[in-house]
Structure 1
Amino acid sequence: MEKQNKLQGKTFIITGASSGMGKATALLFSKEGAELVLSGRNVERGIELVSEIETMGGKAIFLAGDVAELTHNQALVEAAFQHFGKLDGLVCHAGMLGLGAITDLEPSLWRETFAVNVDAVFYLLKFALPELLKRPSAAVVINVSIAAYKSFPNHPAYCASKAALLALAKQAAVEYAPSIRINSICPGPVDTPLIHASAAAFPDPAKAVENAGKNTLLQRLGQPEDIAKLCLFLASEESSWITGAAFNIDGGILAKG
């Protein structure tokens, strides 16, 4: 019996798609039959990703831009209809760190961190939700972070913005049920460019990354593909009775307390 692709005929927008968890999600979703509108800042990497997807027989377009801009999010939704005629779901991976202790952090960086981590998701939901309401089995997956629950040195903007994002995701799930399922994922340390940038907040960045993996119950960093698999589950009909939930995918860090 031929394997049925889990997202066959579905169209998804994926932000933060040019690297890390976003790229892994795009590749997996494409393999499972999804048509993709991809967003990121790096044009070269975005074009390479589309080429890779098309080589595999998939369909994708890339729109370079800043998710913190209202108009970019509107353009993503419009592009889904221009190229694929529909929109079935979102995966919001884009994010930034905004490093610095409270007394050192520039107010402009605080605001920028909230703009990328929270405002961007609000903007995309604002434009996408009316269209998702028209589709059966619409699903949204929002990448939050264990930083919504756990504090890290020199990460006040990141932790606060992720806590706000978690609240936004839960509220949206309540407001748009039962038509749209909206869930969050809360990754721990994953081997992406972001964790190496985050480690700059510690005296020995290389050691901080090494320790991040060792401090998990599973004794390793997560891989972008680990996150992509959870996104696929939440975007597919396999999770048809799940909404308003937040899934920790952290190698067991939060279980340690």
Structure 2
Amino acid sequence: MKLKDKVCIVTGATSGMGKAIAEGLSSEGARLVLSGRNRESGKALEKSLENAVFVPGDVTDPLYNKKLVDTAVDTYGQLDILSLNAGVLGLGNVVELPIDTWHNAINTNLSSLFYLCKYALPILQQQPQGNILINASIAAFKSFPNHPAYCASKAGAVALMKQMAVDYAPNIRVNAICPGPVDTPLLWESAKAFEHPETAVEHAKRTTLLKRLGTPEDITKLVLFLVSDESSWITGTTVTIDGGIINT
């Protein structure tokens, strides 16, 4: 078990990639603090995993993020890893996009990263090696129609990752992954922003060089590598995992 006795906070843990990542971390021996807004799904996940505690709440609330850190310390006595996966889309072009929707996407996808890292970094620094992994998106580099808040927030997430890697080296590694079209509810919701939503997901599948959508398990395998000692000389790096679609 490559993460035996490591303590990890997982945001966005109640569905999609975040849930698969939480399950993968647990399978490698990590002890988890699970974050999400869906209380029923969170409690079910907590029950299905060993050494996991679910803390329901909204990552856009700074004090909720502090609660996640406090829970890790109070429950397990330490904190080693942050796996940051919470995200929303905020669909609509700039003229049509409601200001509240813009703020919600920026707060969920970017500001929440700052909040959790602000409270977690002093605890991570107490460990011989801390690890922060941000789940960003190829939307940080590749534009999609009617995704202004999503694209802007994911680009900001990558920039924040690079900056924190500079400030907190050498004992804390900070990286980001940028998934492409992964078969989750968020992908199908994203399709609504395209001219032909009924065929957008199939088009994305055909456009990848590998001719398939990603799975949450594909992403989990990369996460497990990047938060383990197997990647001990990797920091400040963005890893794209998209079936090659960014090259098309």
TM-score > 0.5 by shorter chain: yes
SS of match in other structure, 1:219: coil
The alignment's TM-score, normalised by the length of structure 2, stands at: 0.98
Task: Report what 1:51 is aligned to.
Answer: 47
Q: State whether residues 133 and 180 of structure 1, in contact with CA within 8 Å, keep that contact through their aligned partners in structure 2.
A: yes
SS of match in other structure, 1:184: strand
Q: In structure 1, give the amino acid aligned to 2:47.
A: S
1:33 pairs, out of 29, 46, 50, with 29
Task: Report what 2:164 is aligned to.
Answer: 172
SS of match in other structure, 2:32: strand
Deviation at 1:205, TM superposition (A): 2.2
Task: Report what 2:200 is aligned to.
Answer: 208
SS of match in other structure, 1:190: coil
Task: Report what 1:235 is aligned to.
Answer: 227
Q: In structure 1, give the amino acid aligned to 2:17.
A: M
1:143 equivalent in alignment to 2:139: no
Q: In structure 2, give the amino acid aligned to 1:234.
A: L
* Deviation per residue, 1:162-219 (Å, 9 max, x gap): 1111100100001100010000000000001100110111233231111111110000
Task: Report what 1:72 is aligned to.
Answer: 64
Q: In structure 1, give the amino acid aligned to 2:101.
A: L
2:4 pairs, out of 8, 14, 22, with 8
Q: State whether residues 149 and 163 of structure 1, in contact with CA within 8 Å, keep that contact through their aligned partners in structure 2.
A: yes
Task: Report what 1:152 is aligned to.
Answer: 144
User: Comparing 100-109 with 12-21, which one deviates more in the overlay?
Assistant: 100-109
1:219 equivalent in alignment to 2:211: yes
Percent identical pairs in the alignment equals 56
SS of match in other structure, 2:24: helix
SS of match in other structure, 2:2: coil
| Counterpart-to-counterpart distance in 1, 2:140 and 2:232 | 25
Q: In structure 2, give the amino acid aligned to 1:44.
A: E
Q: State whether residues 25 and 227 of structure 1, in contact with CA within 8 Å, keep that contact through their aligned partners in structure 2.
A: yes
2:177 pairs, out of 178, 185, 188, with 185
1:60 pairs, out of 52, 62, 66, with 52
* Deviation per residue, 1:134-167 (Å, 9 max, x gap): 1012111001100000000000111011111110
Task: Report what 2:118 is aligned to.
Answer: 126
Task: Report what 1:85 is aligned to.
Answer: 77
Q: State whether residues 137 and 237 of structure 1, in contact with CA within 8 Å, keep that contact through their aligned partners in structure 2.
A: no
| Counterpart-to-counterpart distance in 2, 1:18 and 1:165 | 21
| Counterpart-to-counterpart distance in 2, 1:85 and 1:79 | 9
| Counterpart-to-counterpart distance in 2, 1:46 and 1:147 | 27
2:20 pairs, out of 9, 20, 24, with 24
* Deviation per residue, 1:68-101 (Å, 9 max, x gap): 1101100000000111111001000001101000
Deviation at 1:116, TM superposition (A): 0.3
| Alignment RMSD | 0.8
SS of match in other structure, 1:247: strand
* Deviation per residue, 1:213-242 (Å, 9 max, x gap): 111000011000111111110100000000
Q: State whether residues 145 and 186 of structure 1, in contact with CA within 8 Å, keep that contact through their aligned partners in structure 2.
A: yes
